[in-house]
Amino acid sequence: MKKVLVTGGAGYIGSHVVKQLGEKGYEILVIDNLSTGHKEAVLYGELQVVDLEEKDKVQKLVRDFQPDAVMHFAASIEVEESVRKPLKYYKNNTSNTINLLQILDEENINYFIFSSTAAVYGEPEKLPVKEDFPLNPINPYGQSKAFVEKILQDFNNAKKDFRYISLRYFNVAGADEKGRIGQSYKNPTHLITRALKTAKGEYEKLYIFGTDYPTPDGSCIRDFIHVDDLADAHIVALEYLFNGGESDIFNLGYGHGYSVKEVVNMAKKVTGIDFPVEEAPRRAGDPAVLIADNTKIRQKLGWKPKYDDLEYIIKTAWNWELNKRY
């Protein structure tokens, strides 16, 4: 079976991809500095605790393992922090990816899956968002990922054997159905996680930022995708490359959205807890609606999501919150 190197494989999304790779029999090496990841989240393969900044160490691991492909999740991901600490994001997300690509170039490893984000679009003028829309990120996090997408395009043009898939995530949520892995950040900013932690009493109240948007209930609308559907898309993309597919970029979302208020109401239904909610002013840079057009990945890769159900997404996240292992 083929070998896959996974950077950031001890993190929330990376660990769910590692789980699915392992279940399919791939041989896996995980590289993670454990700054936000957890060794307990790595259910398959071998974990090496190393930072991508340590280029010599990473190169030795790559040379010894000789992966057939690399899946790259290692990154800093908090939008608000990126505004305060832009250099951290350009270093971790952009510069470290260049380090990794240089290693892959030298070791002649030619298949690459990149974890990108809908933040590269900024505030799109039309909906749903298509892959050929202009990139106009409005924060350093989105910009750091957009830079990498451009680098990948240029590297691909220069190195004809190299092929990559860039996957632009919308709002990833939920957890492993069996409760083995899930989202575990020190300071989560994701709406569903914050709502569930408020239900548990970890936060005094949940804030809804902005109730005067031009949407049916005045709150923002987002495209929430279950992490297991997202992980499955990575496997589909990897196998597409292995079967001779060309480099490409795909959105990862369900193609429809839920408002913040709808998510809050569903969280109350799932938990059975009427936790406190307070309306607050809008946050800067929050578009009213952000929904993916997922036609391309469905048609070109044949991806078929299985868990397009807000109640299921929140139930798996709630099960994880109640029975967290790390």
With a cut of 80, say whether residue 325 has pLDDT above it. yes
Q: What are the pLDDT digits (tens) for 52-73? A: 999 999 999 999 999 999 999 9
Ordered domains of the chain (ranges, CATH):
3-173+224-252 (3.40.50.720), 191-222+255-322 (3.90.25.10)
* pLDDT band of 286, cuts 50, 70, 90: confident
C-alpha 166/C-alpha 247 separation (Å) is 8
SS3 assignment, position 74: coil
- Side-chain-side CA neighbours of residue 26 (13 Å): 27
- Cα diameter, the chain: 57
Contact indicator for 77, 11 with CB cutoff of 8 Å: no
| pLDDT of amino acid 24 | 98
| pLDDT of amino acid 188 | 86
The DSSP bridge partners found for residue 290 are: 222
- Active-site positions read 141
Angle of helix 140-158 relative to helix 96-107, nearest 10 degrees, comes to 20
Q: What are the pLDDT digits (tens) for 138-160? A: 999 999 999 999 999 999 999 98
Q: What angle do CA 17, 22, 23 make, to 5 degrees?
A: 100
Backbone φ and ψ for 9, nearest 5 degrees, come out as -75, -5
Instruction: Classify strands 248-252 and 163-169 as parallel, antiparallel or unpaired.
Output: parallel
With a cut of 90, say whether residue 230 has pLDDT above it. yes
Contact indicator for 112, 104 with CB cutoff of 8 Å: yes
pLDDT averaged over the chain? 96
C-alpha 263/C-alpha 253 separation (Å) is 16
Amino acid at 174: G
Percent of the chain with pLDDT over 90: 94
C-alpha 146/C-alpha 223 separation (Å) is 20
C-alpha 205/C-alpha 189 separation (Å) is 14
Mean pLDDT, to the nearest integer, of 25-46? 97
* pLDDT band of 326, cuts 50, 70, 90: very high
* pLDDT band of 283, cuts 50, 70, 90: confident
C-alpha 108/C-alpha 54 separation (Å) is 19
| pLDDT of amino acid 185 | 86
Mean pLDDT, to the nearest integer, of 16-36? 98
